[in-house]
Amino acid sequence: MKLQKTNLADQAYKVLHEMLLGGGRFMPGDKISVEDLARQLGVSRSPVWNAIARLEADGIVEVWPRHGVFFVGFDKGRLMDILATREALEGAAARLAAEKASPEQIKALRESIGLQRSAVADSAHEAYATEVERFHRLLAEASGNVVMVEIIERLWARTKAMCIRPDLRPALMDERVEEHARMVEAVVHRDGEAAESEIRAHIRRIAQGLKGV
């Protein structure tokens, strides 16, 4: 797609973010040609480099002087550190969500569980993965802590970059949805301890499943 002349850097960032994390085009560790991207987007290299700088800050790409730009590679040790950080932050966010979530936010969380179950029943893997990401964002946003949400979203992006092809086995998907449902019920009952415990256990199970990769 060609970019318009206004806010080129922001547009380039959004397009490249989706291009990298949307799956299919780049795999972890792939080299990224800034020149090719600029040509495809119909802009100079400047807004693309600006976008690359932001993506590097997000932990999605790595810039190696004299070598080029690379989509972040799979690093099990780093991924385990990211998941451990997510466990702590998302656990704290879930506890806050149990205290602060509005009726509208609780309704959205419950609707998300329904959408996840429908996606699993229809074997709609892409829809399921998209909805799971949205669910975690909704839960974080219900905490009311904007800074925490921003950090969690960046950690999610890093996780997604390294696991561009998630494990979407039907049985495992069913299990994950029920784990999400228990988180929501804890929020509904204003049980912060249970909400935090559920999401921490959920992320630990994900980490355990990735240790053998």
Name the residue ranges covered by the structural domains of the chain: 8-71, 76-210
Task: Answer whether residue 165 shows pLDDT above 70.
Answer: no
**CA–CA separation, 137 and 90 (whole Å):** 10
Please indicate, yes or no, whether the overall pTM of this predicted structure exceeds 0.95: no
Query: What is each CA distance from 63 to 56, 60, 68, in whole angstroms?
Result: 7, 10, 6
Task: Answer whether residue 178 shows pLDDT above 90.
Answer: yes
What fold is seen in the domain 76-210? Four Helix Bundle (Hemerythrin (Met), subunit A) (1.20.120)
**CA–CA separation, 49 and 3 (whole Å):** 15
Q: Is 31 left (phi over 0), alpha (psi -120 to 50) or beta?
A: beta
Q: Which CATH number fits domain 8-71: 3.40.50.300, 1.10.10.10, 3.40.50.150, 1.20.120.1770?
A: 1.10.10.10
> Between these two residues, 3 and 76, which has the higher pLDDT value?
76
Structure-token pair, residue 203: 């992320």
Please check whether the two domains, 8-71 and 76-210, share a CATH topology: no
Strand order from edge to edge, sheet including 68-71: 31-32, 68-71, 61-64
